[in-house]
Amino acid sequence: MARIAYDRTEAGAFASTRHLGDQEADEWRAAVARHLDPRPGLRLVDLGSGTGSWAKAFSSWFPGIEVTAVEPSAAMRERSVYQPVLAGDDTDIPLTDASADAAWISTVIHHVPDLNATARELRRVLRPGALVLIRSAFAGRHEAITLFRYFPEAIRVLDTYPSVAQVEAAFAGEGFSTVSREQIPQITAASLHEAARTLRRAAHTPLQLITDEEYDNGVHRLRQAALTETGPVIDALDLLVLRRA
């Protein structure tokens, strides 16, 4: 399922740097609530749940909903702050047919080798009318993400990711329609200095897939900018919302 092998190194880096606090993720909570109407008893699948930050957040934000976390990497499952986590992936979700009300897919869609197969499997496990909420950086949409300002070489990696149009087309083939496309802001770090101090290459797929020299140059640019720039680092990722027929 992954472009990179999510072993203990990646899982550790992800757990230590990629979890947003409630305040930092407040806009995401509002967006999810706006689209999902997270009522008690709703069953949400967190597909590719990683180290469990979103599954844990949903359970805290929306009391009474049932979150089913699904993750293919054993290292990620071991590190997860949310339990239990089921072993599975985008083509083998360990749920019965029409048993879930929604799916959350955060920074995972670029690891999917066959979007059509993923859409088909989600159609199987979701009930009619269910939503798929995809949080991602998409090809051609790097301008609102600070990382690419200092690591412009990583844009070429991002541009190998699926585009919004490609994801929409694959899901449309399985009967999903587009509900919304929007950018959601988040506080990624309290300052550029903190972003530089806590940066872990293993936590970011685009940084793993550039050369060592390109990475070192980017770190230098980031650290130099952190000497003078102040204020929080605010990024925006896309939220693509699709509905099952």
Tens of pLDDT along 142-189? 999 999 999 999 999 999 999 999 999 999 999 999 999 999 999 999
Note the pLDDT of residue 1.
45
Distances (CA, A) of 239 to 57, 63, 113, 185, 210: 17, 23, 20, 10, 26
Q: In whole angstroms, give the CA distance from residue 73 to residue 138.
A: 23
pTM: 0.93
pLDDT, averaged across the chain: 93
Residue with tokens 């934000």: 61
> Residues 63, 1: contact at Cβ < 8 Å?
no
> Residues 6, 76: contact at Cβ < 8 Å?
yes
> Residues 9, 118: contact at Cβ < 8 Å?
no
Single-letter amino acid code for the residue at 184: I
Question: Average pLDDT, stretch 198-205?
Answer: 92
Note the pLDDT of residue 221.
98
The domain spans of the chain are 8-142+160-187+236-244
Q: In whole angstroms, give the CA distance from residue 130 to residue 146.
A: 33
Note the pLDDT of residue 4.
55
Question: Average pLDDT, stretch 122-134?
Answer: 98
Both tokens of residue 52? 């469990």
Note the pLDDT of residue 94.
98
Both tokens of residue 165? 């149009």
In angstroms, how far is the first alpha carbon of the chain from the final one?
Answer: 26
CATH of range 8-142+160-187+236-244; options 3.40.50.150, 3.30.465.10, 3.10.110.10, 3.40.30.10: 3.40.50.150
For 94-108, the pLDDT digits (tens) are: 999 999 999 999 999
For 2-15, the pLDDT digits (tens) are: 555 566 666 565 55
Q: 133: part of which helix (H) or strand (E)?
A: strand 126-136
Answer whether the bond into residue 72 is a cis peptide, omega within 30°.
no
Query: Could you give the percent of the chain with pLDDT greater than 90?
Result: 89
For 205-221, the pLDDT digits (tens) are: 999 999 999 999 999 99
Note the pLDDT of residue 24.
84
The three-state DSSP-derived secondary structure of 49-71 is: CCCCHHHHHHHHHCCCCEEEEEE
For 65-75, the pLDDT digits (tens) are: 999 999 999 99
